[in-house]
Every structure is written in structure tokens, then in C-alpha cells.
Amino acid sequence: MRSLNISWGISYPRNQTGWDPLNDLNRILGNEQIKEFFYSSIAHNKISHAYIFEGEKGSGKKMLANAFSKILQCRGEGTKPCGKCSSCLQVDHHNHPDVIWVTHEKANVISVGEIRTQVINTVDIQPYKGPYKIYIIDEAEKMNPSAQNAILKTIEEPADYAVIFLLTANRGAFLPTVLSRCISLTVKPVPVSLIRRHLTDRLGIDPGMAEFYAGFSMGNVGKAMAIAGSVEFNEMREHALELVRHFHEMEDYELDGRAKECRVYKDRIREYLDIIRMWFRDILIWKTTGDQERLLFRGDFPVLCRQAERLSLASLSRIFDHLGETDRQITANVNFEAAMDLLFFAVRRLFSPS
């Protein structure tokens, strides 16, 4: 068994069977600084009462909060988390009595009532089982000002055993008083190469596809895993690729047809547009660097090359402008099909004759 030996002598075993591979700190990809920070806090017994984890959706905030909770609550002997004791198992299954995931009913707001009933009214009750009582509030930016003010008191005068994790995509939404009382940690994008290796080595995904998922996720592990496992995404990817591969030779009726078919992907249209963007980004990279290794769609290299010959840098720049404009139109609720139609025709026009 290989071990990750931390300088202060705590040993965190790896590859131990029976562990949830996603929930242990040492198995979370990237973000070494945050992990080191946790290990150090635990080793020096300096656990703070309130942490903010900021990072985009899918960046791993929940996994980090879960992993840290597990280490704090572990009742096992030796290395922590042991991964086997009832505490560890309960944290993993989200049913540990002292690790409370705060829930909210309305999609866009966490109300003061929800903070009161789930946090403030329970925090004075001693932990049932673990040494700590941990509250995890996901999408904490949705706490309205009164909810934030309510939790502030708990953060300012915490019970010894209380630890609060505020997970957020936007710490700017917190009141300055909340911000000043929390330790803020930024969850950063994970290097694409690490995600790619994770997808191929651990999940057995074909290297070419892993390259695409990792690159497309822009360092967001959650997103990479979600799209890798999504039939819907992969169908959409194929649809978008069939379009871009033949853009330069498509007839009007074919472009119209494609625009109509896109309606199926309306809910994920930004990802659809991103696939198109990545395709032309590959052409741009190929034209400017000649580095085939950096291309996401290496499998389509001959087609990329052919299109590269027919697109000037100025044309590519126009394509990116059109894609941005389509994003804006969709946000502004312009007729969906018309916006896609406009985009497809505009892009085709930019190819010079062969």
C-alpha cells in the first residue's frame, strides 16, 4: 500500500479497498494547497469555526467539505479518516448526526427561517457522536441578508465544537461582517492533465475522449465527470461535431435543419456553443502554433487542417464574436431557432472558397 506521507508524520493511505474513491481528501484531484492547509490545521489542532469555500459549480467544494468533515469526525484508530468506522461511513452516506447539510426549499434563496431551524436552534445541542458539530451550507450565497445576519451570531460566538462550511460560487454575495469572520479558501481549477489521467486510469475512459472531457471542463472535475457519464451530452457532442466538420460544405437547407434540431439541446445550448467554440479554438491554435498536441479534436485533424486553410485569423475572430453574440441573444430570449440559424449562416459565410 502506498502512503502519502505528510511532513508532520500523519500517514494517509492510498488505494485502500472499500473506500469511496471520491470522498477522501487525498483522492480529490488538485487543490493541494487546501489539502495541505487542512492537514496542517488538524496536525496543529487549529480548527476554525467558519470556512468559506469559493469555487464554481462542480469544482469540488462539496467533496472537500465532506472529506474534511470525515477527518474531523473519524472515530477510528491511527490514520484519519480511517474510512471504516461508523463515523466515516455515516459522513459518506450523508447521515452522520453531527454533519448537517443545510437544505432550502426555494431554488434561489436560503431563508432566515431555514437558518434558524436547521442551524441556530440546534447548534447549542452538544454533538451526539463526534467531537464536532459541522454545518455545511451549499450555495450559501443564496442566504439573504437576514439569513446571513442570523448565522453571523453563531459564527461570532460559536460553541466550541461548531464548524460551519459556507460553500459558494460567489463570496461577493456575503455581508462584510460574515466575510471577516470566516477563513476563505478558493477552490481552483484542476490541471487538465490530472483530470485526463483520472478519467483514463481510474474510470477507464478512452484517451481521446478523456482528452476532450478534461479540456472541455476547463479544470472542473465535477463537470468532466458529469459530461463523461452523460449519454445526452455525448449525443449533443456528436450532433455539434457533425455540424462543425461539414460547416464549410453545408447547403442552406442542411443548416436550417441543424438549427431546428438544436431545439432538442436548448437546455444545454451553452455547452453546444462551447463545443463549436472549442472546435474553432483548435483551428486557431493549429494556425498560430502548429502544435497538434494541444488540439482537443486531434482525431479530426485532417478536417481541422482543411478548414484552417479556408479560415483567416480575422474570420476566426469573427466566428468567436458571432458565438458570443448568440450567447447574448439566447440570454435575452431572442427566438431560439432564429438565433441558431443566424449563427450557422454567418459562420459558413466566413469560409473562403476552396
* Number of residues that this document lists for the chain: 354
Q: Which stretch binds Zn ion (CB under 5 A): 30-38, 84-92, 103-111, 164-172?
A: 84-92
Give the nearest distance from C-beta 80 to Zn ion in angstroms: 6
**Taking a C-beta distance cutoff of 8 angstroms, is the pair 220, 58 a contact?**
yes
Q: Which stretch binds Zn ion (CB under 5 A): 8-16, 82-90, 138-146, 337-345?
A: 82-90
Give the nearest distance from C-beta 75 to Zn ion in angstroms: 6
| Contact call for residue 89 and Zn ion (CB under 5 A) | no
Q: Which stretch binds Zn ion (CB under 5 A): 70-78, 103-111, 238-246, 270-278?
A: 70-78
Q: Which stretch binds Zn ion (CB under 5 A): 13-21, 37-45, 69-77, 322-330?
A: 69-77
| Contact call for residue 74 and Zn ion (CB under 5 A) | yes
| Contact call for residue 299 and Zn ion (CB under 5 A) | no
Give the nearest distance from C-beta 72 to Zn ion in angstroms: 10
Q: Which stretch binds Zn ion (CB under 5 A): 13-21, 80-88, 96-104, 213-221?
A: 80-88
CA–CA separation, 69 vs 141, rounded Å?
21
| Contact call for residue 85 and Zn ion (CB under 5 A) | yes
Give the nearest distance from C-beta 224 to Zn ion in angstroms: 29
Beta carbons within 8 Å of 273's beta carbon, 6+ residues apart: 323, 326, 327
The CA distances from residue 96 to 74, 79, 336, in Å, are 11, 20, 46
Q: Which stretch binds Zn ion (CB under 5 A): 88-96, 115-123, 141-149, 254-262?
A: 88-96
Grid coordinates of 353: 472558397
Give the nearest distance from C-beta 12 to Zn ion in angstroms: 12
Contact with Zn ion (CB under 5 A) among 88, 162, 340, 350: 88
Nearer to Zn ion, 25 or 119 (CB): 25
The CA distances from residue 13 to 26, 27, 40, 190, in Å, are 9, 10, 17, 22
Contact with Zn ion (CB under 5 A) among 22, 34, 82, 190: 82
Q: What is the dihedral of CA 136, 122, 92, 161, to 10 degrees?
A: 80
Task: Kindly determine how many residues on this chain lie close enough to bind Zn ion according to the rule CB under 5 A.
Answer: 6
Q: Which residues does residue 12 pair with via DSSP β-bridges, in sequence order?
A: 4
| Contact call for residue 13 and Zn ion (CB under 5 A) | no
**Taking a C-beta distance cutoff of 8 angstroms, is the pair 101, 134 a contact?**
no
Strand, helix or coil for residue 242 = helix
Contact with Zn ion (CB under 5 A) among 76, 127, 131, 158: 76
**Taking a C-beta distance cutoff of 8 angstroms, is the pair 29, 196 a contact?**
no
Strands of the chain, DSSP E: 3-5, 11-13, 50-54, 99-101, 133-137, 162-168, 183-186
Nearer to Zn ion, 30 or 83 (CB): 83
Q: Which parts of this chain interact with Zn ion (CB under 5 A)?
A: 74, 76, 81-82, 85, 88
